[in-house]
Each structure stands twice: as structure tokens, then as C-alpha cells.
Amino acid sequence: MKQFNYTITDALGIHARPAGMLAKAAKTYADTEITVTCNGKTAKATQLMKIMSLGVKQGSVVTVVAEGPSEEAAIAAMDDFFTSNL
Amino acid sequence: MVLLQGKGVSKGVVKGQLYFFKRQDNTVTKRIAEDVEAEKARFAAAQEAATLQLTALADRCREEAGDESAILFETHAMFVEDEDMVEAIISLIEEEGCCAEYAVEQAGEQFAGMFAAMDDAYMSARAADVRDVARRLVNNLLGITQGGIDSDEPVILAADDLAPSETIQLDKSKILAFATRGGSGNSHTAILARTMGIPAICGLGDALKDELGGRLAYVDGETGSLYIEPDELTVLALKEKLDKQEELKALLSSMKGQEDVTLDGQKVNVYCNIGSVEDVSAVIANDGQGIGLFRSEFLYLAANDYPTEDEQFEAYKTVAAAMNGKRVIIRTLDIGADKQVDYFDMKKEENPALGVRAIRICLNRPEVFRSQLRALYRASAYGKIAIMFPMITSVWEVRECRRACQKVMAELEKEGIPYSKDTEIGIMIETPSSVFIAEELAREVDFFSVGTNDLTQYTLACDRQCNDLGKFYDPHHPAVLRAVKMAADAAHKAGIWIGICGELGADLSLLPTFLAMGIDELSVSPSSVLPLRAMLRKSIAKTCTLDMLKC
């Protein structure tokens, strides 16, 4: 299991556009489960609407976890995704 | 060949298939499924179709409008495949044994409800996206195409007439041209068509028969001719016109980045009229130097209930920020008359153009007004916003508006919310009374903007929605032009600026008249900016006369 914490800087939080892009990015690692946790609620990165419903705002801290055969590559991709988009 | 003649309301020649706008009933009733597996298969097919439709939509958007709008449709496509919503739909079909339509509608409402309940203006507005997706699935299940465009290729959209709310919701990437039986040059479809640079003909009458649907046609939005399956000679002539159009386009793009000034140095601000946040991209693409009229009605027309202060704030802020310090004049709510909104619960009026509309509604309903003003002032911290009040007839109205503004500023001050104290306040000059008392009004505000459509309607006692008035509705009437001159003189005497935001602003034949009056700003559809600039840069203001006023 690999994980990291990230503080959201995007003014709108995890809104539709990055959530969509996140789901797309996460789907490329079909064998690895990627989850996002915020305010005690967890959703899989591929669950677009559920991710949006976490209500992640600017300043929120999220925990991203990857678990599975490609977790190494997946967590690196997620780290990159969050830093450049959120 | 069949030739139909209407009124050309938005220029351009285009070739395509005629397609009739359909309004279909998509109410869902709960049916018990005879075969649960078959319902699941129907849903899977509708889902697949929706994905294809949305991907095609996104692709076309990417080509024509850029990434931003394409991503919206891609997000919709992902909603269609959202694991949780699909699971909810399947389990509804299995557990309740109901038809797929009902399951989709229920699940759609459930997820839309989840977003609507979120404590965040942006997220709660996403409920509309979920409903949109659910509606698309239901329509696919029922085999109907709502908003009428079930074609892979863009089409010439034919209709009786289109309501403002219908036009707003159309997929514009599918529309080559508009051809309507009714409507006039001032109808909202015509205005929208000009904004988007889509050719349009209206007033074609009953000759535009349903059975013409699917036939190949040419639209000439300048002459108002609709040619159905034209002969070779006509095609040749139309092709030549098309080529010229392309040439003109090239000439116009050379106007980008040039200053709006006459040969003898008289500057005119060329701004744009817009009706939604999305229109800003057209303003930027056409190099508009500001926004002279942002119609805030779309926020009210597209909604089922009063838009919240936060929703309005987001829209105004987005536009102000996108314009990057250039002036953005936002007109406060202008409904009533031809623009009706159900939830306002307005009494039916015999003569709505003279009824409780625009600023009258705002002054009668301080809460509605207050939330809009708060949103406007909050957004003023993010760009150069100016506030404009429509349908002014008396000095006391302006004073009351100013008091409402001051109250809102004091509130924001107290709450520590940022806003710009220098936000300009202006009024529309669109009633004869505002012209007669223009000198008094000019002392109360920072600017005037002439709404020539209503000014013509009220000055000439001609209903702008009426198709049959024809020659009686003459926007070049000396009475209308003299009224503009009176307002301009009053503005300049008081040291404030005056613009024109009605359709006449883009009327190139009047440019010399406006230059002679010393009009400071012309606000036109984004597609009219470059032609106007080209003409302006060839003009010599000193030699312009007021002949058209026939004084």
C-alpha cells in the first residue's frame, strides 16, 4: 500500500472537471484500487460522483491511497495529477 | 428547386439539411417490467448510445469551441458510466421490477438530490448536470430526441419559433442556420444567431412545411432566401457568395488587435453584448474591448427557481475575471414583457411591455434586487464591473437604485467582504421619458447606454415582437435618432459617457450619424466587432453629419 496526503489549492476544490480527469487517470490502473479520503469519507478515484460528493474544498487535506500490483506507478501518477491539477 | 422568402436576420450563406425542431413529451410513467433482463439490456443500450452522443459532442466542441466546453460533455459521458449511479439503476430494475425509464429517473433524482443538498454553490448546481444526463438516458430509452437534433451532421434548424429558454438549451454545435416560420429580427433567436455568427431567416410563414424536413437547402441570411434543392445556376451564385464570405473573414481577422479609432483620431469603445458566461469566448475571439451589455436574465430563464446570490456571484465573477480588467457592464434583471419566468409568479398583463417589468420588478421586490446587487458588488472585486439599470423612466427610480447599492455596499463593508467602491452605475435610455429628463438623469449616474430596440418600440408605439408591423417599425425613424442625440447631448453636458447597446449599434449605415453625435461606446454582438472596427478605421468623424435626423 502506498499513500500520500495533499492540501487542495484549487479555488473550487475537487470540482467536476478535475474529478472527471481523476476518474479517467485512475481507470488506467485497473488492477490497483485508488481511493481518496477527506473529512472521514472515502471514495474510489473512479467513482466520479462520489468523489465530487466528498465536498473537497480549497484547503482540505485529502489522503490518496493506492493498493494493488501497480501501486508504485499509480501513486506516482496520482501525486503528479494532484500537484498539477488541484 | 423551391424558393422560400423570409426576413434575413443574421448574415451568412450556408448549405445543409433542413431539420425540424421537435418538442416531445418525455414524461415517464412507472411500468412493471415483463422481463427484468430485457430492461437491463435496454438500459445498457441507452447508456451506450448516450456515451457515443456525448463523445461526439465533446469531439466537435474540442474542434470548434476549445477544451473547456468539451470537458463538460466528457464529464457528462463519465456520469453516464458512473459506477454508483449505474448500480442504483440496475438494483431498482431488479428490486422493484420496474421499467428502465423509471429506474433511470429515480436514480437520477437521487444523485441530483445528493448534489443539490451539498453545502457548496458550485456542487449544488451540478444537480442540473446529473438531471441532464438522466434526461438524455430517458430520451434514448423512449427513442426520442429532445431539443430536436438527432443527426450526426450539423443541420439547418427549422421551427415555428423558438422560446428563449429553448434556444439557450440547444446544442449550438449542431446548428448551421436557423429558419423559422414566425419571429422577427428582434426575437431572441435572431439576437442569439447574430451573437454566434450563425445565419438565420425568420418570418418564412407556412410555406416552411414539415415535409421539407431532410431536404438539402441553402440559407442566405442576408437576403432571407431559403433555397431547397437549388438548381446548378443558383448553387454557383451561392458558392460565389460563400467564397466572398471567406475572403471577408480573412480581411476581418486582420482587424484583430487594432485600435477602435477614426482616421482623424476620434475614439469609440467597441464592446460586446452577451447573454451568458459562455459567450465570453466569442468576445475574446473577436477582440471585443469590453462588455457593454451582459444580460443577466439567462440566470433566471434557465432556472426553476430564483438563482442564489452565490450562483449569480460565480457567473459575474467568471466573466469579470475572464475580461481581465476590461469593463463589464452587467444589466440587472430585465424580465417581464417578452421574457417571462414562471417562478416569479407574475400576474397576467394585457400589455406586458408597459407592465411590471425590469427595474419595476426589482423595486417592487427588494429581496430579489438585493441578492443580485450583492452578487454584483462581490464580483466587482474580481474585475471592472459596471452596473446598469433597465427601463428607467424617473429620477426617483435611479435614486432608489442608488440607495439599494449603498445599502449593499455598507453590508459588505460590515461583513468584511471585498468589493470595489468605484463600481460605475449607469442606466439604460430606452423610454421616451428618460430622453426628456436625460439632463436630470445624467447628474445621477456615471453613464448612459441606449437600448435602441425598446426605445424604437416605445417611441414609435410599435410592438417589437409583432411580425406584421413591417414598414411601421422603422429604427431609422428621425424621432428615434433625435432621441439618441438628445440623450447624447445631455450626457456630454453632464460630463458622462454614452453608449449604444441595442441592435442599432451594429448598423453600419448609422455609424457616421453616431460619430457626429459623439457616441462614446458601441456595444454589438461579438461577430459584429470586426466589421464595425473595419468601418470605423476608414471613417473621418469631422466630415460626418446629422443628415439622418432630418432636422
Tens of pLDDT, residue by residue, chain B (551 residues): 889 999 998 989 999 999 888 766 677 888 888 888 888 999 999 999 999 888 887 776 676 555 655 777 788 888 898 888 999 999 999 998 899 999 999 999 999 888 888 877 777 767 777 887 888 898 888 877 655 566 778 899 998 877 654 565 577 778 899 999 987 766 657 776 887 788 999 999 998 988 888 899 999 998 999 999 999 999 999 989 888 888 888 888 889 899 999 999 999 999 999 998 888 988 998 999 999 999 998 888 877 889 999 999 999 999 999 999 999 999 999 988 777 788 888 888 888 889 999 999 999 999 999 999 999 999 999 999 999 999 999 999 999 999 999 999 999 999 999 999 999 999 999 999 999 999 999 999 999 999 999 999 999 999 877 767 878 989 999 999 999 999 999 999 999 999 999 889 999 999 999 999 999 999 999 989 999 999 999 999 999 999 999 87
Judge if B10 and B47 occupy the same domain. Answer: no
Phi, psi (deg, nearest 5) at residue B322: -65, -30
Smallest CA–CA distance, residue A70 to chain B, in Å, is 22
Helix, strand or coil for residue B246?
helix
Q: Starting from the edge strand earliest in sequence, which strands make up the sheet with A61-67, in order?
A: A2-7, A61-67, A33-38, A41-44
Chain A residues whose CB is inside 8 A of the B51 CB are none
Q: How far is A13 from chain B (nearest CA, A)?
A: 10
Residue B507 is assigned to a structural domain of this protein:
yes
Of B251, B282, B314, which one is at a domain's C-terminal end?
B251
In a domain, B31, yes or no: no
Which of B513, B520, B514, B515 shows the shortest CA–CA distance to B498?
Answer: B520
Cβ–Cβ < 8 Å for B305, B343 = yes
Domain boundary among B251, B271, B294: B251
The answer to whether B203 touches B90, Cβ cutoff 8 Å, is: no
Does residue B339 share a domain with residue B197?
A: no
- Domain contains B372: yes
From chain B, pick out residues whose CB is under 8 angstroms from the CB of A44. 83
CATH of the domain at B122: 1.10.274.10
Q: List CB contacts (< 8 A) between B126 and chain A.
A: 16, 52
**Which CATH number covers residue B241?**
3.50.30.10
CB-CB under 8 Å, A46 with B118: no
Burial A39-63 (b: 16+ CB within 10 A, else e): eeeebbbbbbbbbbbbebbeebebe
Q: Does a structural domain hold residue B394?
A: yes
Cβ of residue A55 closer than 8 Å to a chain B Cβ: yes
Eight-state DSSP code of residue B347? P
**Separation between Cα atoms, residue B88 and residue B99, nearest integer Å:** 14
C-alpha torsion sign, points B456, B461, B463, B466 = negative
Cell 408597459 belongs to which residue? B354
> Cβ atoms within 10 A of the Cβ of B457, count?
24
**Exposed/middle/buried for B407, CB within 10 Å: 0-12, 13-18, 19+?**
middle
Final residue of a structural domain among B202, B226, B251: B251
Query: B341: how many CB neighbours lie within 10 A of its CB?
Result: 21
Torsion angles phi and psi, residue B402, rounded to 5: -65, -40
Co-location of B127 and B180 in the same domain: no
State how far the Cα of B134 lies from the Cα of A49, in Å rounded to an integer. Answer: 14
Q: Is residue B48 part of a domain?
A: yes
- Is there a contact between B358 and B333 (Cβ–Cβ < 8 Å)? yes
Q: Are B60 and B175 in contact (CB under 8 A)?
A: no
The CATH number of whichever domain residue A69 belongs to comes to: 3.30.1340.10
Cβ(B444)–Cβ(B409) under 8 Å?
A: no
Residues B223 and B328 in one domain: no
Strand B327-331 and strand A41-44: pairing? unpaired
User: Exposed, middle or buried: residue B18 (CB in 10 Å: 0-12, 13-18, 19+)?
Assistant: buried
Model-level pTM? 0.58
What is d(CA B68, CA B62) in angstroms, rounded to the nearest whole number?
8
**What SS3 state is found at B338?**
coil
| Cβ-contact B496, B446 below 8 angstroms | yes
Distance in angstroms (rounded) separating the CA atoms of residues B199 and B190: 9
| Domain co-membership, B104 together with B182 | no
Residue B28 lies in a domain: no
CB contact under 8 A, B74 and A20: yes
- From the CA atom positions of chain B, what is the Rg in Å? 25
Q: B174 and B124 share a domain?
A: no
Same domain for B258 and B247, yes or no, is no
3-class secondary structure per residue, B79-136: HHCCHHHHHHHHHHHHHHCECHHHHHHHHHHHHHHHHHCCCCHHHHHCHHHHHHHHHH
Using an 8 Å Cβ cutoff, are A36 and A62 in contact? Answer: yes
Question: Within this chain, do residues B247 and B258 fall inside the same structural domain, yes or no?
Answer: no
Which cell goes with B231?
A: 438548381
> Which domain, by its residues, includes A41?
2-85
Q: Are residues B281 and B430 in the same domain?
A: yes
- For residue B445, count other CB atoms closer than 10 A to its CB: 21
Answer whether A55 sits within 8 Å of B84, measured CB to CB: no
CA distance B112 to B134: 9
Residue range of the domain that includes B317: 254-549
Q: Do residue B237 and residue B265 come from a single domain?
A: no
Q: How many domains does chain A have?
A: 1
Give the residue on B whose Cα is nearest the Cα of A50: B84
Q: Tell whether B27 is covered by a domain.
A: no
Q: For the beta carbon of residue B461, count every other beta carbon within 10 angstroms.
A: 10
- Looking at the 3D structure of chain B, how many domains does it have? 3
